[in-house]
Amino acid sequence: MAKWYVLHTYSGYENSVASAILKAAENRKLQELIFETMIPVEQVTERTDKGEKTYERKIMPGYVLVKMNLTDESWHLVRNVRGVTGFVGTAGKAIPLTDQEAIDLGAEHHEVILGFNVGDTVKVTDGPLEGFLGKVEELEAEKDRVRVAVSMFGRITSVDLELDQVAPSAEAE
Protein backbone atom coordinates (compact mmCIF):
# COMPACT_ATOMS: atom_id res chain seq x y z
CA MET A 1 0.00 0.00 0.00
CA ALA A 2 1.28 3.45 -0.90
CA LYS A 3 2.35 5.73 1.93
CA TRP A 4 3.41 9.37 2.10
CA TYR A 5 7.12 10.01 2.66
CA VAL A 6 8.89 13.30 3.33
CA LEU A 7 11.90 14.33 1.26
CA HIS A 8 14.41 16.96 2.22
CA THR A 9 15.39 19.18 -0.72
CA TYR A 10 17.50 22.21 -1.38
CA SER A 11 15.48 25.26 -0.39
CA GLY A 12 13.76 26.78 -3.39
CA TYR A 13 13.94 23.54 -5.40
CA GLU A 14 10.68 22.03 -4.08
CA ASN A 15 8.66 22.57 -7.26
CA SER A 16 11.35 21.31 -9.62
CA VAL A 17 12.01 18.26 -7.41
CA ALA A 18 8.29 17.40 -7.27
CA SER A 19 7.90 17.55 -11.04
CA ALA A 20 11.24 15.79 -11.70
CA ILE A 21 10.20 12.83 -9.53
CA LEU A 22 6.96 12.35 -11.46
CA LYS A 23 8.77 12.76 -14.79
CA ALA A 24 11.47 10.23 -13.82
CA ALA A 25 8.80 7.74 -12.69
CA GLU A 26 7.01 8.17 -16.01
CA ASN A 27 10.24 7.77 -18.03
CA ARG A 28 11.18 4.59 -16.17
CA LYS A 29 7.60 3.25 -16.24
CA LEU A 30 7.35 3.25 -12.44
CA GLN A 31 3.96 4.95 -12.07
CA GLU A 32 2.77 1.86 -10.15
CA LEU A 33 5.33 2.72 -7.44
CA ILE A 34 5.31 6.54 -7.37
CA PHE A 35 1.85 8.07 -7.47
CA GLU A 36 1.88 11.68 -6.40
CA THR A 37 4.03 14.53 -5.10
CA MET A 38 2.90 17.46 -3.00
CA ILE A 39 4.32 20.63 -1.53
CA PRO A 40 2.30 21.64 1.56
CA VAL A 41 1.13 25.24 1.16
CA GLU A 42 -1.29 27.57 2.90
CA GLN A 43 -3.25 30.56 1.62
CA VAL A 44 -2.04 33.83 3.13
CA THR A 45 -3.86 37.14 2.81
CA GLU A 46 -1.75 40.20 3.40
CA ARG A 47 -3.42 43.55 4.07
CA THR A 48 -1.50 46.65 3.14
CA ASP A 49 -2.40 50.25 2.43
CA LYS A 50 -2.74 49.22 -1.25
CA GLY A 51 -5.35 46.56 -0.45
CA GLU A 52 -5.39 42.82 0.07
CA LYS A 53 -3.01 40.42 -1.58
CA THR A 54 -3.50 36.64 -1.40
CA TYR A 55 -0.73 34.19 -2.14
CA GLU A 56 0.41 30.66 -1.31
CA ARG A 57 3.18 30.16 1.24
CA LYS A 58 5.07 26.91 1.73
CA ILE A 59 4.31 25.41 5.13
CA MET A 60 7.53 23.38 5.14
CA PRO A 61 10.18 25.07 2.95
CA GLY A 62 12.80 22.58 1.80
CA TYR A 63 10.48 19.56 1.96
CA VAL A 64 8.38 17.63 -0.57
CA LEU A 65 5.85 14.88 0.16
CA VAL A 66 5.82 11.80 -2.08
CA LYS A 67 3.11 9.13 -2.13
CA MET A 68 4.80 5.91 -3.13
CA ASN A 69 5.34 2.22 -2.52
CA LEU A 70 8.83 2.09 -1.04
CA THR A 71 11.03 -0.41 -2.85
CA ASP A 72 14.73 -0.36 -3.62
CA GLU A 73 13.91 0.80 -7.15
CA SER A 74 11.58 3.63 -6.09
CA TRP A 75 13.95 4.69 -3.29
CA HIS A 76 16.88 4.99 -5.72
CA LEU A 77 14.79 6.83 -8.31
CA VAL A 78 13.64 9.45 -5.80
CA ARG A 79 16.97 9.70 -3.98
CA ASN A 80 18.85 10.38 -7.23
CA VAL A 81 16.65 13.27 -8.42
CA ARG A 82 18.65 16.49 -8.57
CA GLY A 83 17.88 18.68 -5.53
CA VAL A 84 16.90 15.82 -3.19
CA THR A 85 19.19 15.58 -0.15
CA GLY A 86 17.44 12.58 1.41
CA PHE A 87 14.39 11.04 2.99
CA VAL A 88 13.27 12.13 6.44
CA GLY A 89 13.80 9.18 8.77
CA THR A 90 16.37 7.53 10.98
CA ALA A 91 19.71 6.03 10.01
CA GLY A 92 19.05 6.41 6.28
CA LYS A 93 15.72 4.58 6.55
CA ALA A 94 12.68 6.41 5.16
CA ILE A 95 9.80 6.53 7.63
CA PRO A 96 6.28 7.07 6.24
CA LEU A 97 3.87 9.64 7.64
CA THR A 98 1.01 8.31 9.74
CA ASP A 99 -2.47 8.65 8.24
CA GLN A 100 -3.25 11.49 10.66
CA GLU A 101 -0.03 13.36 9.77
CA ALA A 102 -0.89 13.06 6.06
CA ILE A 103 -4.38 14.47 6.74
CA ASP A 104 -2.97 17.29 8.91
CA LEU A 105 -0.55 18.30 6.14
CA GLY A 106 -3.34 18.26 3.55
CA ALA A 107 -1.91 15.34 1.60
CA GLU A 108 -4.91 13.12 2.31
CA HIS A 109 -8.43 14.39 2.59
CA HIS A 110 -10.73 12.88 5.15
CA GLU A 111 -14.15 13.74 3.85
CA VAL A 112 -17.08 13.30 6.20
CA ILE A 113 -20.56 13.25 4.72
CA LEU A 114 -23.25 13.73 7.32
CA GLY A 115 -26.95 13.17 7.00
CA PHE A 116 -27.77 15.89 9.51
CA ASN A 117 -27.09 19.55 10.36
CA VAL A 118 -27.40 21.82 13.39
CA GLY A 119 -31.03 21.84 14.55
CA ASP A 120 -31.83 18.36 13.16
CA THR A 121 -33.08 15.51 15.32
CA VAL A 122 -30.66 12.60 15.65
CA LYS A 123 -30.73 9.23 17.38
CA VAL A 124 -27.84 8.11 19.57
CA THR A 125 -26.69 4.74 18.19
CA ASP A 126 -23.82 3.88 20.54
CA GLY A 127 -22.71 4.40 24.12
CA PRO A 128 -24.63 4.79 27.38
CA LEU A 129 -27.26 7.04 25.74
CA GLU A 130 -28.02 4.56 22.92
CA GLY A 131 -31.62 4.90 21.76
CA PHE A 132 -32.07 8.50 22.98
CA LEU A 133 -33.20 11.21 20.57
CA GLY A 134 -31.76 14.72 20.62
CA LYS A 135 -31.29 17.92 18.68
CA VAL A 136 -27.90 18.79 17.19
CA GLU A 137 -26.61 21.97 18.88
CA GLU A 138 -23.08 22.09 17.50
CA LEU A 139 -21.23 20.22 14.78
CA GLU A 140 -17.44 19.92 14.42
CA ALA A 141 -16.90 17.46 11.55
CA GLU A 142 -13.15 18.17 11.37
CA LYS A 143 -12.83 17.10 15.03
CA ASP A 144 -15.28 14.18 14.65
CA ARG A 145 -17.53 15.71 17.35
CA VAL A 146 -21.18 16.63 17.68
CA ARG A 147 -22.99 18.23 20.63
CA VAL A 148 -26.52 16.94 21.08
CA ALA A 149 -29.24 18.21 23.46
CA VAL A 150 -30.83 15.08 24.95
CA SER A 151 -33.84 14.93 27.28
CA MET A 152 -32.96 12.87 30.37
CA PHE A 153 -35.16 12.63 33.46
CA GLY A 154 -37.23 15.59 32.29
CA ARG A 155 -34.20 17.87 31.77
CA ILE A 156 -32.37 18.87 28.61
CA THR A 157 -28.69 17.94 28.85
CA SER A 158 -26.00 18.70 26.28
CA VAL A 159 -23.68 15.79 25.55
CA ASP A 160 -20.59 15.64 23.34
CA LEU A 161 -20.47 12.57 21.11
CA GLU A 162 -18.39 11.28 18.23
CA LEU A 163 -19.98 11.47 14.77
CA ASP A 164 -20.27 7.70 14.48
CA GLN A 165 -22.35 7.59 17.67
CA VAL A 166 -25.34 9.36 16.10
CA ALA A 167 -27.53 8.88 13.05
CA PRO A 168 -30.21 11.02 11.38
CA SER A 169 -33.67 10.40 12.80
CA ALA A 170 -37.05 10.99 11.16
CA GLU A 171 -38.77 10.65 14.54
CA ALA A 172 -40.00 13.72 16.38
CA GLU A 173 -38.98 14.34 19.98
Can you give the residue range of the structural domain that contains 54?
A: 3-104
* Average pLDDT along the chain: 87
Residues 55, 93: one domain? yes
Q: Residues 73, 127: one domain? A: no
Q: CB neighbours of 66 closer than 8 A, spacing ≥ 6?
A: 4, 5, 6, 7, 21, 34, 36, 37, 38, 78
One domain, residues 139 and 63? no
| Same domain membership, residue 97 and residue 136 | no
pLDDT at 78: 93
Asked whether residue 48 carries a pLDDT value surpassing 70, the answer given is yes
List, for residues 12-34, the tens digit of each pLDDT value: 999 999 999 999 999 999 999 99
Q: Is residue 173 part of a domain?
A: no
In a domain, 162, yes or no: yes
Residue 146 belongs to some domain of the structure: yes
For residue 97, CA distances in Å to 21, 67, 78 come to: 19, 10, 17
